[in-house]
Copies of this chain bind each other. A is one copy, B any other.
Amino acid sequence: MNSFISRCNTMASCDSGSLSEEFAVPSHVEEVRSVMAAFAEQHGAAGRMVVLITSGGTKVPLESRTVRFLDNFSSGRRGASSAEYFLAHGYAVIFLHRHRSLYPYTRLYTGINLLDCLTLDTVHGSGLVTVDQRKLPNITEVLKRYQEVKSAGLLLPVEFSTLSEYLHLLKAAAQALSSIGSKAMFYLAAAVSDFYIPASEMPEHKIQSSNGPLQISMKMVPKILKPLVKDWAPKAFVTSFKLETDPSILLERARCALDTYKHQAVVANVLDTRHGYVVVVTKDSQKELVLTDEEAQREVEIEEKIVKNLSHAHTQFINQKM
């Protein structure tokens, strides 16, 4: 176990000071913070639980006038579908997502060209453009649900693109949710870069290929989970995700994260099987969630099970705190 412990200990964490020094503060962060705080207070007062979902990958610029960047694979599917299930469980949702990643409800029609689904009424000359419902399956049900959620103000979208934006907006969200204490859940499904180039070491202009092969030296991103759990949202229920490609190290790394950050749950998953199998790891439990073939056939989503499991655990967590 020695190597296991030492590996856990090598992770650098960050405090509020270093965050602003190393990562430029987005200009709109204060404005977004107060919108999120008002959202949390309103729904908290109405007796609702509020979940902050992070979703999609982060962009790490290699040049300050950015042409090239390092990116993480993530369509945002898990975050977007989870948002729908949290809404179905009565939560209000702050959806902190990568610009252009999948969005709740709309995600069901991603990859479909809008113009292929529309019909122009040329016969009656009404000028009406209607939807060909064979091209957008279940559109009436989905649209109805989307409009209900929207008019009830239950979904607050916030966008990020770069790693810096992600880090500062997550911190702002944690502060904004602090007023509702244990009623807040963090569901950190975004694929966040582990590496970055400090602004001070970044070339201003596009790297010239004529200068020969490229050597990139990247620093490790400080682990934001530590200050999040310890300082920014100490009363909240925090769920992180652990994605690996090598199944043999998955659970060890999930336990390692729990031991290090002392939060409530890790959803552990392997890249190739992540849509059908995850393990929810807590301090004293380990629950496998699996889609059966029959469920996969019916297009049940694993996120339905993850959210059911976690919202149950969250309710227990709240009751214990009372």
Q: A245 within 8 Å of B by Cβ?
A: yes
Name the residue on B nearest A209 (C-beta): B194
8 Å CB interface, A100-118 against B: 100, 103, 105-106, 109, 111, 113-115, 118
Contact A113 B103 (CB under 8 A): yes
Name the residue on B nearest A223 (C-beta): B209
Residues from chain B with a CB closer than 8 A to the CB of A118 are 131, 139, 143
8 Å CB interface, A105-161 against B: 105-106, 109, 111, 113-115, 118, 120, 127-131, 133, 136, 139-140, 142-144, 146-147
Q: A24 within 8 Å of B by Cβ?
A: no
Given contacts A67-B243, A70-B68, A205-B246, contact A215 B215 (CB under 8 A): yes
Contact B73 A67 (CB under 8 A): yes
Contact B114 A127 (CB under 8 A): no
Residues from chain B with a CB closer than 8 A to the CB of A219 are 213
Q: A88 within 8 Å of B by Cβ?
A: no
Contact B215 A220 (CB under 8 A): no
Q: A41 within 8 Å of B by Cβ?
A: no
In the bound complex, how far is the Cα of B248 from the Cα of A205, in angstroms? 11
Contact B140 A120 (CB under 8 A): yes
Contact B73 A71 (CB under 8 A): no
26 contacts between A and B (CB under 8 A): A66-B73, A67-B72, A67-B73, A68-B70, A69-B70, A70-B70, A71-B71, A100-B111, A106-B114, A115-B143, A115-B146, A128-B130, A130-B131, A204-B245, A205-B244, A205-B245, A206-B243, A206-B246, A209-B220, A209-B221, A213-B217, A213-B219, A214-B217, A215-B215, A215-B217, A215-B218
